[in-house]
């Protein structure tokens, strides 16, 4: 199998107002291509921090994070930006899209930043919108889309650059259950069809049920890591190496 994420002894301490808070504490994590992983845990357990560290938005105090063979803790700020552009897709909790760009432009932006040829950009955008079922809303501004639709566009944008991994921080937090379930359908469909690796944080039980691997964080440490058997899944499920 193809290793996508290999995190070792990752620790991150925040120091707001002189009282140190250990957000992520000595975490080890190993993720293979095509996994569909939920990161769960109560508020303040370090989910967002861990995702930020994996996504290269933040640097750990100690430890290494190797993404598809590159130790991102050793990259400079500029290299990190470029690395994120080519290897990581992000879906944030809310206000995901650039308000002045249409849905299609939001998706195309990433590819344009990658300097992909124009024809390819168009083609890829069309395919992605087809996959998220919003072809008719392509030229709509985000403000005119519902929350669920916005998050679907955000997922499409995350996938646009064909990253190694898509990181989604509470993507369903602001959605009603129908939209949430719809978003999960799309994510899991893309996970299968494009063999795309997904890691998403959540504390929504119904969402957790859709994941095939669940990592639970408590106080910045991994408390449990369990694989779930999904009968509809064709692939073998990797169990935790521990």
Partner 1 sequence: MNMMISMAWRNIWRNKVRSVVIMISIALGLVAGLFIMGLYEGVLNDRLNTVIRQEVAHLQVHHPRFQRDYEAVFCLDSASRLVERIRSLENVQAVSARTVAPGMLATSTGSAGVQILGVVPVDEDAVSGLKQKLIEGEGFKANRHNQVVIGRKLADKVNLRLNSKLVLTFTDIENNLVSAAFRVAGVYQSTNAPLEERLVYLHAVDLNRLMQMEDACHEIAVLLNRDEAMTTAEQQLNRLYPNLLIENWQQLSPETKLMIETTDTYSIIFIVIIMLALMFGIINTMLMAVLERTREIGMLVALGMNKLRLFMLVLWETVILTLTGAPFGLLLSWLLITHLGNSGIDISSISGAAMSGFGFSSLIFPRFPWSSLPLVLYIVCITALLASLVPSFKALRLIPVEAMRQ
At its nearest, how many Å lie between partner 1 and the CB of residue 241?
29
Q: Measured from the CB of residue 208, what is the shortest distance to partner 1 in angstroms?
A: 24
Specify the residue, 82 or 120, whose C-beta has the smaller distance to partner 1: 82
**Shortest gap between Cβ of 100 and partner 1 (angstroms)?**
4
- CB of residue 240 vs partner 1: minimum separation in angstroms? 28
Q: Which residue stretch of 28-36, 109-117, 179-187, 209-217 sits at the interface with partner 1 (rule: CB under 8 A)?
A: 109-117
Query: In angstroms, what is the minimal distance from the CB of 71 to partner 1?
Result: 18
Q: Does 116 bind partner 1 (CB under 8 A)?
A: no
What is the contact mask toward partner 1 in residues 117 to 156, using x (rule: CB under 8 A)? ----------------------------------------
State which H helix or E strand residue 208 sits in.
helix 205-210
Of the candidates 38, 110, 125, 166, which one interacts with partner 1 according to CB under 8 A? 110
Segment contacting partner 1 (CB under 8 A): 94-102, 127-135, 195-203, 220-228?
94-102
Kindly state whether residue 1 participates in binding partner 1, applying the rule CB under 8 A.
Answer: no
Integer-rounded Cα Rg, in Å, for the chain is: 17
Residue 98 binds partner 1, judged by CB under 8 A = yes
Cα-Cα-Cα-Cα dihedral sign, residues 12, 50, 34, 30: positive
* Gap between the Cα atoms of 132 and 211, Å rounded: 19
Token couple for 215:
């990592």
Shortest approach of partner 1 to residue 42 CB, angstroms? 19
- 27 strand-pairing partners: 10
Phi/psi of residue 222, each to 5°?
-75, 120
State the residue for tokens 């470029």: 82
In 10 A of CB 218, how many CB atoms? 15
- Minimum distance from residue 35 beta carbon to partner 1 (Å): 22
Q: What is the DSSP string of 51-96?
A: HHHHTTSS--SEEEEEETTEEGGGS-HHHHHHHHHHHEEEE-SS--
Window 35 to 74, contacts with partner 1 (CB under 8 A): 52, 55, 57-58
Q: Please state the separation of Cα 133 from the chain's center in Å.
A: 20
| 231 lies in the site for partner 1, by CB under 8 A | no
223 binds partner 1 (CB under 8 A): no
CB proximity list for 124: less than 8 A, separation 6 or greater: 111, 116, 160
Cα–Cα–Cα angle for 11, 13, 18, rounded to 5 degrees:
160
Which residues in this chain contact partner 1 in the complex, by CB under 8 A?
Answer: 52, 55, 57-58, 78, 81-86, 88, 90, 92, 95-96, 98-101, 105, 108-110, 112-113, 157, 161
């Amino acid at each position: 199998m193809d290793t996508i994420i290999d995190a070792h002894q990752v620790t991150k301490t925040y120091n707001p107002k002189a009282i140190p808070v250990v957000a992520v504490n000595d975490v080890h994590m190993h993720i293979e291509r095509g996994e569909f992983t939920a990161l769960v845990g109560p508020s303040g357990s370090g989910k967002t921090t861990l995702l930020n560290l994996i996504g290269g938005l933040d640097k750990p105090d100690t430890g290494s994070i190797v993404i598809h063979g590159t130790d991102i803790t050793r990259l400079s700020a500029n290299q990190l930006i470029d690395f994120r552009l080519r290897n990581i897709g992000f879906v944030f909790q809310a206000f995901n899209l650039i308000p002045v760009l249409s849905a299609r432009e939001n998706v195309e932006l990433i590819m344009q930043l990658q300097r992909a040829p124009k024809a390819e950009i168009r083609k890829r955008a069309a395919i992605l919108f087809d996959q998220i079922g919003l072809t008719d809303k392509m030229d709509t501004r985000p403000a005119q889309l519902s929350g669920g639709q916005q998050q679907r566009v955000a997922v499409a944008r995350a996938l646009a650059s064909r990253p190694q991994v898509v990181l989604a921080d509470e993507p369903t937090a602001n959605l009603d259950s129908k939209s949430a379930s719809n978003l999960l359908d799309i994510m899991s469909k893309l996970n299968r069809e494009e063999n795309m690796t997904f890691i998403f944080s959540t504390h929504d039980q119904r969402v957790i049920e859709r994941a095939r691997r669940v990592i639970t964080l408590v106080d910045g440490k991994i408390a449990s890591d369990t694989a779930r058997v999904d009968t509809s899944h064709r692939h073998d499920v990797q169990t935790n190496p521990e």
